[in-house]
Amino acid sequence: MVPVPQRRPHVVIVGGGFGGLRAARLLKDADVDVTLVDRTNHHLFQPLLYQVATAVLAPSDITIPIRYVLRRQRNATVLMGDVRRIDPDARTITVDDAGWTLSYDYLILAAGARHSYFGKDQWEEVAPGLKSIADAYELRRRFLTAFEEAEKAATQEEKQAWLTFVIVGGGPTGVELAGIIPDTAEAFRKDFRRIDTCKVRVVLLEGGPKVLAAFPEKLQQEALRDLEELRVQVRLDSIVTRVERDAVYVGEERIPTRTIFWAAGNAASRLGAQLGAPVDRAGRVLVEPDLSVPGRPEVFVVGDMAAVTSEGKPVPGVAPAANQMGERAARNLLATLRGQPRQPFTYRNKGDLATIGRHRAIASFGKLQLEGYLAWFLWLFVHILYLVGFRNRVSVLVQWTYAYFTYQRGVRLISGAMTTVGSTATPSEPPSTRPPVPGWK
């Protein structure tokens, strides 16, 4: 009799972010077939996404094709598609609107999260968040367009509204956005004739009593001082009650602005709710200590989709945590295949870093706390080190060096729809309503 070859276990990984990609690479030498499904074709280094949104880096500097990363991994297949449905009983996932399915023996769910508007999803059109390259393109378009519209503004009030940037959320993304805008605006100062870009107004609205709440109190105060020195107006205990195309409301107070960025709150991918497991208010799956779904040991959830504690503390939704969860899920999967016991996930916090602006940053490594120049250069080094791909490391280093010595920004392309959110001008507006500009016809 001819022996029938045994089918190898099929591991499906949904999401090519930090957790998903780490899990896939760790299964390189395993006797399994791996299929990684992502709605895009690239891995994104999300911690530097705000620099794409503010014209410091190009999108290609912080992305790398997933296929390229896994090109030498013979047991891995990469598919670009949007997972719409998970059937944990049939052990299948449905991909794209066409409805083609993949069956799995083991599933690692690492689909990430989106920004949350706390039930006010209609605000997203006016106040976009920052989670993807598409988001960064849109924020960059609005950011650069604000200066162009201010240059054409007919009144001082309109000009000031265009030069007012409101950021909602005082976490790392909000603080880093608020800190980089004054520096970037200063780099534009010689390029415009009718506005002073150094006089931009940046308002940071935080609903709680602190910015960067995950950091020690001393470093929070240092970050607050840095923001104030950059002329950022930090408003604590300020909950946004309404968002309009030309204003943000805090209670009954109206803040005129044409550019609003959202950096408050996260909502996990809706795929987690399809597993039949309990989820928290943010939609994260309440996983077992080994990162598996309760009652379904063949399904693991990692990254921003997992609500997990380590040593009695909630694990933060940061890139190092996602990396570590992806590694633990893969190792527990391998342990099961070998008939060995699984190990609980333990988060190893290697430190927290946040940059506020040029030469301004904070770093916390347990009892060791740094600020200023040293923390800033450490932040640069760590982010270069953790970028995926040698080309990206070199490209980012070159861009940062160029910006550091020339005070210029090299990626100032405005693309996308020409209609600007909040704009009151129309193509048919007669030139006579505009102030005289040399060469205007």
Determine the pLDDT at residue 8. Answer: 92
Percent of the chain scored above 90 by pLDDT? 76
Mean pLDDT of the chain: 90
Determine the pLDDT at residue 417. Answer: 53
Cβ atoms of 356 and 179 closer than 8 Å: yes
- Looking at residues 367-395, what average pLDDT do you find? 90
Whether 224 has a pLDDT exceeding 80, the answer reads: yes
Phi/psi for 109 (5° steps) reads -100, 115
Determine the pLDDT at residue 311. Answer: 85
Determine the pLDDT at residue 432. Answer: 36
- C-alpha–C-alpha distance, residues 133 and 136, integer Å: 5
Determine the pLDDT at residue 14. Answer: 97
N- to C-terminal Cα separation, the chain: 88
Determine the pLDDT at residue 91. Answer: 96
Q: 56 CB contacts (<8 Å, ≥6 apart)?
A: 180, 184, 399, 400, 403, 409, 411
Determine the pLDDT at residue 424. Answer: 38
- Looking at residues 250-266, what average pLDDT do you find? 95
- Considering only CA atoms, which of 259, 299, 307, 301 is closest in space to residue 282? 307
- Looking at residues 341-351, what average pLDDT do you find? 94
Cβ atoms of 17 and 44 closer than 8 Å: yes
**Range picked from 1-10, 232-241, 265-274, 392-401 for highest mean pLDDT:** 232-241
Determine the pLDDT at residue 390. Answer: 83
Confidence of residue 279 (pLDDT cuts 50, 70, 90): very high
Whether 312 has a pLDDT exceeding 70, the answer reads: yes
Cβ atoms of 14 and 110 closer than 8 Å: yes
Whether 441 has a pLDDT exceeding 70, the answer reads: no
Q: What is the pLDDT of residues 55-86, one digit of tens each?
A: 999 999 999 999 999 999 999 999 999 999 99
For residues 412 and 179, which has the higher predicted lDDT (pLDDT)? 179
Q: What is the pLDDT of residues 393-414, one digit of tens each?
A: 898 988 888 888 877 776 788 8
Determine the pLDDT at residue 304. Answer: 94
Confidence of residue 430 (pLDDT cuts 50, 70, 90): very low
Pairing mode, strands 92-95 and 83-87: antiparallel
Catalytic residue numbers?
176
The number of residues making up the chain comes to 441
Secondary structure class of 267 (helix, strand, coil): strand
Confidence of residue 428 (pLDDT cuts 50, 70, 90): very low
Cβ atoms of 85 and 93 closer than 8 Å: yes
pTM (2 d.p.): 0.89
- Looking at residues 335-345, what average pLDDT do you find? 97
**In terms of C-beta density within 10 A (0-12 exposed, 13-18 middle, 19 or more buried), how is residue 313 classed?**
exposed
Q: Tell me which amino acid residue 177 is.
A: L
Cβ atoms of 107 and 301 closer than 8 Å: no
Confidence of residue 1 (pLDDT cuts 50, 70, 90): low
**Range picked from 23-32, 116-125, 421-430 for highest mean pLDDT:** 23-32
Q: Look-up: residue for tokens 């409101």?
A: 166
Cβ atoms of 33 and 8 closer than 8 Å: yes
Q: What is the pLDDT of residues 2-41, one digit of tens each?
A: 554 568 999 999 999 999 999 999 999 999 999 999 999 9
